[in-house]
Chains A and B, each alone.
Chain A
Amino acid sequence: MNKHVIVRTAAAASAIALLTSLAACGDNIPAGTAATANADGLSGNFAGAGASSQQSATEAWIAGFTASNTKAKISYNPSGSGAGVTTFLTGATAWAASDKALSDSEVEQSKDVCASGTAFDVPVYIAPIAVVFNLNGVSDAGKHVNMDAATIAKIFDGKITKWNDPSIQEQNPDITLPDTAITVVHRSDKSGTTQNFVEYLKAAAPDDWTYDLSENWPNEVGQGAKGTSGVISTISQADGTIGYADFSQVGELGTVSVKVGDEYVDISTQAASNAIADSTIDENVTGDNRVVVDVNHTTTADNAYPIVMVSYDIVCPVYQDSATTEFARDWLTYVVSTAGQSVASSATGSAPLPNNIVDRINESIAAMG
């Protein structure tokens, strides 16, 4: 019996040792070039948490960032904007990602976490929000449907219930719209996508969209679905559905071309970037170094797509730990750089930050540490 125990213990120990040696790395080799000259760079564990919309982009940034800082281990927990900011304000994470700018009270709370000054947010990720639909004979033929803001607002408020409603048909003289009922699909969970979408409706069609701004869907029209993935799969499954989702997730579904000025603009990353370039930076926010974009939903600029979500990274100017300060500065520098923005754009279909905004962000980064 004793001999057996010894043999078994030895077997278990060697199994664990084998597993450990096997598992020592497992890191992939980056697809492009090998690690660059700056192979040492930062080291340590750094954690971020926040918006799930930024997950793919942040994973791409982590890949790009660790390629030049091979000793740094960075984790990102896509727990949601609210959870991300809360965690950040406890001091557990180095940065937070959020679909909306900090509130005044959050800026005030950040004094406890940051070694000096208050936390600030900078836009890092611009995602066009597509109005997606699934309509037999239209979306599967690859056609866009033209709509102005008032029409979209009426559809999502349940005032327009048929696809061949005259107000839709007269904007689309080239398409024969079927007599199918419209099923609205919206997010059932709290979401920055919802917030930005209704912001657009409220700004561009104030007469037809009277609800208050919120991250929750405000009315009882249509059906809810959990997460972007839930919305997309619900829309894919039924004819006559319409909803809103991140552009990168649209896939084979049809997208609505939105009326801007006198023209209908198809969704594209460049068009979204144009809309942000035509927006202003909110100068009245409390707290230093903050760059909060006031998205111009009623833009009339050429080829500008006005339904855009701006997502932020939130950092402290100075941390208790100097390594974290250094990390946060390098991280933001990389993320808003041309390289960082293009890797995010190819990974997620996000729109690159326009130059006027990048200049402002670099001022804020320069004020760090």
Chain B
Amino acid sequence: MAGHGTIPAKEGSMTHPTSHDSSGSAPASLMADAPVIDFDKFKPTRSHLAARQRKDTFMRWLILLAFVVACIPLISLLWTTIVNGVRRLNWDFLSHNMTYVVGGEATGTGGYGGILHAIIGTLEITLGSMVISIPVGIMCSVYLVEYANRSRLSRTVRLLVDVMSGIPSIVAGLFAFSMFSILVGPGTINGFEGSVALSLLMIPTVVKTTEEMLKIVPNDLREASYALGVTKQRTISKIVLRTALPGIVSGAILAIARVIGETAPLLMTAGYIVSTNMNLFSGEMTTLPVYVYQEYSKLRANCPADASASCVTTIPMERAWAAALVLILIVLILNLIGRIVARIFAVKTER
């Protein structure tokens, strides 16, 4: 802002081409004959400057405040989850399931049950939904960007993807549940059904992010490839997708983070069981969000009058918090993996 004072002087020297006087030929006389412009008139006054300074400071603080306000729930959430979750988060909790857990009593290993079955369920179901939705999503966006960029069909598909991204998760759950009821048998519940429900929620996110990533791949790259006689298929798979890969990976991670915490559709499609089920295609499977919900609904375990001292009445809530913390950690780890993968595959531009 201090620099403003010097500007009028500089601009004064540049006014000569607009000068009215054309008789003089020497530049020196030009300068002398130039109409005198009172640049001080444009000079911001002290009060004006102060006002701008105030406005600047005010906006700075306002933006900072908005940032802080936006962070409060996040920090509060993380803090509450960590404080409450860390109490029961130990190896015993991570390496056992909920079999033989009765009331608030400790199990044979001194633990209070765990979430191994839920972690496995969450990972398997999420993996299943990735396998379904990532290829579908990427191919859909390749079609949209590379083959049918402005056609009527692509506009329709884009609209439908937008609509799809607004589908409430419970509706996706209902869809998967009814589909399996018709195809497999009434009341079918298994992990893969949960994957189908989640993939419905993932596909729009994958399509949208991949589409954006493909759009920003410079056209020069495609043209250069074509100029060398490379086929369209190879151009797309080796040039376009390769260039956009880091973005596609982070889009996929975003989509996973979007669905890994879903409770409602999994409650309906994947069910709930206390023992470990490794088979994605048969039997009920517990996932972390459903586990958290079920433990929360239990609220309190009963300790009879003759219970041992290790009986904890508040154990369901403590388990719920610890499982919630683990879920957050899993999302965090997935994000880190996504970043690392994106970095490994990033196109080296300096060459």
List of A residues within 8 angstroms of B101 by Cβ: 28, 59, 63
Give B104-126 as 1s and 0s: 1 = Cβ < 8 Å from A's Cβ atoms.
01111101011011001001000
Is the C-beta of B143 less than 8 angstroms from some C-beta in chain A? no
Please give me the residue from chain A that is nearest to B111 by CB atom. A28
Please give me the residue from chain A that is nearest to B106 by CB atom. A31
A90 to B103, CA, bound (A): 31
Is the C-beta of A67 less than 8 angstroms from some C-beta in chain B? yes
Q: Please report which residues of chain A, range 225-266, place their CB below 8 angstroms from some CB of chain B when the two chains form the complex.
A: 227-229, 232-233, 248-249, 251
- Shortest CB distance B273–A (Å): 4
Please give me the residue from chain A that is nearest to B299 by CB atom. A229
A107 to B187, CA, bound (A): 19
| B96 and A348 form a contact (CB under 8 A) | no
A233 to B320, CA, bound (A): 16
List of A residues within 8 angstroms of B102 by Cβ: 31, 59-60, 63-64, 343, 346-347
Please give me the residue from chain B that is nearest to A269 by CB atom. B304
Q: Which of B96, B116, B298, B304 has the most CB of A within 10 A?
A: B298
A60 to B100, CA, bound (A): 7
List of A residues within 8 angstroms of B284 by Cβ: 47, 75, 77
- Shortest CB distance B118–A (Å): 10
**Interface magnitude class on chain B:** 35 or more
- Shortest CB distance A114–B (Å): 15
| B283 and A28 form a contact (CB under 8 A) | no
| B302 and A346 form a contact (CB under 8 A) | yes
Given the known inter-chain contacts A26-B117, A229-B296, please indicate yes or no for A91 contacting B99, CB distance below 8 A: no
Is the C-beta of B263 less than 8 angstroms from some C-beta in chain A? no
Is the C-beta of A173 less than 8 angstroms from some C-beta in chain B? no
| A25 and B276 form a contact (CB under 8 A) | yes
Please give me the residue from chain B that is nearest to A88 by CB atom. B187
| A28 and B109 form a contact (CB under 8 A) | yes
Is the C-beta of A45 less than 8 angstroms from some C-beta in chain B? yes
Is the C-beta of B137 less than 8 angstroms from some C-beta in chain A? no
A232 to B116, CA, bound (A): 29
List of A residues within 8 angstroms of B326 by Cβ: none
| A28 and B97 form a contact (CB under 8 A) | yes
Given the known inter-chain contacts A26-B114, A28-B101, A30-B100, please indicate yes or no for A45 contacting B187, CB distance below 8 A: no
- Shortest CB distance B126–A (Å): 13
Number of CB contacts from chain A to chain B under 8 A: 146
Is the C-beta of B313 less than 8 angstroms from some C-beta in chain A? yes
- Shortest CB distance B236–A (Å): 17
- Shortest CB distance A95–B (Å): 13
Main DSSP-derived SS at the A contact region: helix
Is the C-beta of B182 less than 8 angstroms from some C-beta in chain A? no
List of A residues within 8 angstroms of B300 by Cβ: 232, 248-249, 251
**Interface magnitude class on chain A:** 35 or more
A75 to B270, CA, bound (A): 12
| A23 and B275 form a contact (CB under 8 A) | no
- Shortest CB distance B81–A (Å): 18
Please give me the residue from chain B that is nearest to A56 by CB atom. B298
List of B residues within 8 angstroms of A30 by Cβ: 100, 107-108
Is the C-beta of B98 less than 8 angstroms from some C-beta in chain A? yes
| B274 and A62 form a contact (CB under 8 A) | yes
Is the C-beta of B185 less than 8 angstroms from some C-beta in chain A? yes
A73 to B113, CA, bound (A): 17
List of A residues within 8 angstroms of B108 by Cβ: 28-31
Give A44-83 as 1s and 0s: 1 = Cβ < 8 Å from B's Cβ atoms.
0101000010011001101110110000010111110000
List of A residues within 8 angstroms of B188 by Cβ: 92
List of B residues within 8 angstroms of A76 by Cβ: 272-274
26 residue pairs of the A-B complex, CB under 8 angstroms, read A19-B120, A20-B278, A26-B95, A26-B114, A27-B96, A28-B99, A28-B113, A29-B108, A31-B102, A55-B298, A56-B298, A63-B274, A64-B102, A75-B271, A75-B275, A75-B284, A76-B274, A91-B187, A228-B299, A343-B102, A346-B102, A346-B302, A347-B102, A347-B301, A348-B103, A349-B302
By a beta-carbon cutoff of 8 Å, the part of chain A in contact with chain B is 19-20, 22-31, 45, 47, 52, 55-56, 59-60, 62-64, 66-67, 73, 75-79, 87, 90-93, 227-229, 232-233, 248-249, 251, 343, 345-349
By a beta-carbon cutoff of 8 Å, the part of chain B in contact with chain A is 95-103, 105-109, 111, 113-114, 116-117, 120, 123, 181, 185-189, 267, 271-278, 282-284, 294, 296-302, 304, 307, 313
Q: Kindly list the 7 A-B residue pairs having the minimum CB-CB distance in the complex, ordered from nearest.
A: A92-B187, A29-B108, A347-B103, A90-B186, A75-B273, A229-B299, A26-B116
